[in-house]
Structure 1
Amino acid sequence: MSAMAHEPLSQEETLLEGFLALETPQGFRAELIEGEIVVTPPPSGRHERWLSRIALQVARKSEVVMDASGNRGLEVPRGGLCPKNHVIPDVVFARLELDLFDDDESWMPCDGVAMVVEVTSGQPERDRTAKRHCYARGGIPLYLLIDRENETVTLFAEPEGDDYQADCRRPFGKPIELPAPFSFTLETGDFA
């Protein structure tokens, strides 16, 4: 018997295979964003405080009951020359009745996700640009960006192609309106 010849993997397939095989230290997370493997350390306390304040307001004020997950990986359609992106938002919100977080898979499609939230990291341009494009390509209706460096909160809406068609930016301390299905004013007074 002769062994079947296997076609060599493309550069994109090799990158994706290597990424999926990564084992990161506890607390760290690895993402594949626009063809680049990104490993980030555990977040700071302030980072987590902002996320907690947002989650509390969503739980108390949202028009619809929302489920939330931190560190849930999303598979996002590819863009440009990169393989399928694998991104991990700081928080993913979805309607509770959809049960999007009930499976045991590490990575899930973007279908049904209502909003993702990011707090800028040590490389803020990745959150401001690359991840914004990923979330738009995934058709995620809302992307809320907490920008530590600029001390702003930006809500991106109306995804179309590689970007969002609308955005609303407020400085820390000023409220920002979250549209349906949330339908409430997010207070940012304690972000500063």
Structure 2
Amino acid sequence: MTVMNDQRPHMRTEDFEAVARIAAGEREGTRLEFIDGVIRSKAVPDGDHGRIIQWLLKICMQSRPDDLFLHPGQGIKVDHYRSGRAIPDAVLAHPDAFVGQGDWVDPDPVLMAVEVTSWDADTHRRDHVEKPRAYAETGIPVYLLIDRAKCEVTVYSQPDGRRYESIHIVPYGSDIALPDPVGITLQTEVLKDWVR
């Protein structure tokens, strides 16, 4: 579904937020995102997806227990003028980074956005094309993509305001460093247990 006309969305950000609240209330688990003026639904996570987020949460807590927390499912403002709305599977930030904010928070405190691929038809476009661009434009320092279909982990870093200049891909089973400001190394062998 395209909602663009001469690079202008047909819907205001405020209207999208109202629609997203209604959709979440009417059908439990429905999650909508608004990127590049396009509304997309995000698949409800399955058990393996949830387990990967738990694994990553534990690693972050053990590595940097005093200063960072992995916030699952936090909606953030994205794109150049932050008129877009995305729901990463998790974001890494200070434990109190979003206290007092609403459903869609300012992304400035976010050090890393995390996506774990789903099994829906548009996961490649969303997680490999739209999200890296939106997160880079927003200035999020690190984007971690765990691709269950390809059994790969990708780390995007060094955003230049349009895209990430550094992209590092490893297969499941290899170690991969999450660069500063995250500064954690992931041992990905266990991800092989959570693949269909």
Q: Normalising to structure 1: TM-score of the pair? A: 0.84
Cα shift at 1:13: 6.2
Cα RMSD of the aligned pairs, angstroms, is 2.1
- Higher share in helix: 2
Instruction: Give the Cα–Cα distance (whole angstroms) in 2 for the partners of residues 184 and 161 of structure 1.
Output: 24
Matches within 5 A, 1:18-57: 18-22=15-19, 23-24=22-23, 25-57=27-59
Per-residue CA shift, 1:21-41, capped at 9, x if unaligned? 211221121110122111123
The equivalent residue for 1:76 is 78
CA distance in 1, matches of 2:46, 2:110: 25
Q: What amino acid sits opposite 1:182 in the alignment?
A: V
Deviations 1:87-139 (A, max 9, x none): 0100011133xx21211411111101110100113222211110110000110
Question: In 2, Cα distance between the equivalents of 1:118 and 1:148?
Answer: 11
Distance 1:33 1:172 in 2: 29
Q: Name the structure, 1 or 2, with higher relative contact order (CA <8 Å, separation 6+).
A: 1
Q: Distance in 2 between matches of 1:65 and 1:108?
A: 19
State which drifts further: 34-43 or 148-157: 34-43
Secondary structure, counterpart of 2:191 in structure 1: coil
Pairing of 1:111-126 with structure 2 (within 5 A): 111-121=108-118, 122=120, 123=122, 124-126=124-126
List structure 1 segments (4+ residues) > 6 angstroms apart after TM superposition.
none
Match of residue 130 from structure 1: 130
Asked if 1:101 corresponds to 2:98, the answer is: yes
CA shift in 2, pair 1:28/1:71, >3 Å = same
For structure 1, which runs of at least 5 residues remain unmatched after alignment?
1-10
Q: Secondary structure at the match of 1:189?
A: helix
Q: Please give the secondary structure, in 2, of the residue aligned with 1:169.
A: strand
The within-5 A match list for 1:170-185 is 170-185=170-185
Structure possessing the higher radius of gyration over alpha carbons: 1
Distance in structure 2 (CA, Å) of the matches to 1:63 and 1:157: 23
Q: Is the 8 A contact 1:175 1:188 kept in 2?
A: yes
Percentage of pairs with the same residue = 33
Gaps of 5+ in 2: 1-7
In structure 2, C-alpha distance between the alignment counterparts of 1:105 and 1:57, rounded to whole Å = 27
Indicate if the aligned counterparts of 1:64 and 1:182 stay in contact, CA closer than 8 A: no
Aligned residue for 2:188, secondary structure, equals coil
Structure 1 residues 87 and 152 mapped into 2: Cα distance closer, same or farther (>3 Å)?
A: same
- The alpha-carbon deviation at position 15 of structure 1 amounts to 4.4
Contact 2:31 2:43 (C-alpha < 8 Å) held by counterparts: yes
1:100 and 1:178 map into 2 onto residues whose CA distance is: 20
